[in-house]
């Protein structure tokens, strides 16, 4: 199960400062889309709005046909918590700084939300958690606390934790930016296997260009709160049409 996403003429401001302007983006169910571009261009904000961590001021956003506005509610306000609860049930997010719950063991991090939010039995949730830990290669860390793990291990647990909620859309907000270079690979390989094995819609903000090129169905180049150019990875990386895309790519690929 996966879901489609549609941003329609969305405006997002912090105070008077516009972050997203007339923003349009459609993501098909099951698609893997990567957002690249200079920092401060609004890429992460797109994910944060999708996760309901940020409100927006104008425009429409729907996920699997469900609006982020209250049905019949008055725009530009974000819908009520009760309504957004339904939206969030379909979306999961992996954060740059992992954000595991430090007071819980790894297993408990994976079991807490499925039992409390989805109402699974403890046995069922633990069974699923064990499977997921196996998938991310951390079966032996179930009883450890997050503070005892490396950054790469923590991020893999965070991915498993997000998957434990069976999201249809999974958002990755610079999942490897906080990691030491030698730990990036283990996290990317988990994400890579997700892109292949799971019928998930994935949206990722990353600075790992080679990785973006490898796993994406589509790459969107962002600048100044807009998508400047988008297309198949080969087209964006080999034959970008826009001058700004060329400049950005040459600076990150050669710099």
Partner 1 sequence: MDLSVHLPNLLGAAATSLLICSLSLLMAASLSFGAGVALFAGPAWLRAIAFAYVEIFRGTSLLVQLFWLYFALPLLGISLPPFLTGVLALGLNTGAYGAEVVRGALRSVSQQQHEAARALNFTRNQTLWRIVLPQSLVEMLPSFSSLAVQNLKDTSLVSMITIADLTFKAQEIRNLTQDTVAVYGTALLIYFAMAMSIVALMRILETRVARSTGRLS
Which residues contribute to the site for partner 1 (CB under 8 A)?
Answer: 51-53, 81, 85, 88-89, 91-93, 95, 97, 99-105, 112-113, 116-117, 145-148, 161-162, 165
Residue with tokens 């964006």: 236
Q: How far is the CB of 225 from partner 1 (least distance, A)?
A: 21
Please tell me the distance from the alpha carbon of residue 31 to that of residue 154, in angstroms, as a whole number: 26
53 vs 66 by CB, closer to partner 1: 53
93 vs 190 by CB, closer to partner 1: 93
200 vs 236 by CB, closer to partner 1: 200
Q: How far is the CB of 73 from partner 1 (least distance, A)?
A: 20
Q: How far is the CB of 102 from partner 1 (least distance, A)?
A: 6
Residues whose CB falls within 8 Å of the CB of residue 1, separated by 6 or more in sequence, listed in order: 168, 199
Q: How far is the CB of 93 from partner 1 (least distance, A)?
A: 4
103 vs 232 by CB, closer to partner 1: 103
91 vs 203 by CB, closer to partner 1: 91
Q: How far is the CB of 100 from partner 1 (least distance, A)?
A: 7
Please tell me the distance from the alpha carbon of residue 34 to that of residue 176, in angstroms, as a whole number: 14
What are the residues facing 94 on neighbouring strands?
Answer: 172
């Amino acid at each position: 199960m996966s879901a489609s996403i549609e941003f329609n003429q969305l405006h997002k401001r912090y105070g008077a400062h516009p972050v997203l302007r007339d923003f349009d983006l459609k993501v098909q169910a099951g698609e893997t889309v990567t957002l690249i571009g200079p920092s401060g261009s609004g890429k992460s904000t797109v994910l944060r709005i999708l996760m309901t961590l940020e409100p927006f001021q104008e425009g429409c956003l729907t996920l699997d046909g469900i609006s982020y506005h209250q049905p019949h509610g008055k725009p530009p306000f974000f819908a009520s918590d009760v309504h957004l609860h339904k939206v969030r049930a379909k979306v999961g997010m992996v954060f740059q700084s992992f954000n595991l719950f430090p007071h819980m063991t790894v297993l408990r991090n994976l079991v807490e939300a499925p039992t409390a939010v989805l109402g699974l039995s403890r046995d069922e949730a633990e069974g699923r958690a064990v499977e997921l830990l196996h998938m991310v290669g951390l079966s032996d860390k179930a009883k450890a606390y997050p503070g005892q793990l490396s950054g790469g291990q923590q991020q893999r647990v965070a991915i498993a934790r997000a998957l434990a909620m069976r999201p249809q859309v999974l958002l990755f907000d610079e999942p490897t930016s906080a990691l030491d270079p030698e730990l990036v690979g283990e996290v990317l390989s988990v994400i890579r296997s997700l892109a292949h094995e799971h019928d998930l819609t994935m949206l990722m903000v990353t600075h790992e260009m080679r990785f973006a090129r490898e796993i994406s169905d589509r790459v969107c180049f962002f600048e100044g709160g807009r998508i400047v150019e988008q297309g198949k990875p080969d087209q964006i990386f080999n034959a970008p049409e826009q001058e700004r895309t060329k400049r950005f790519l040459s600076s990150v690929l050669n710099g």
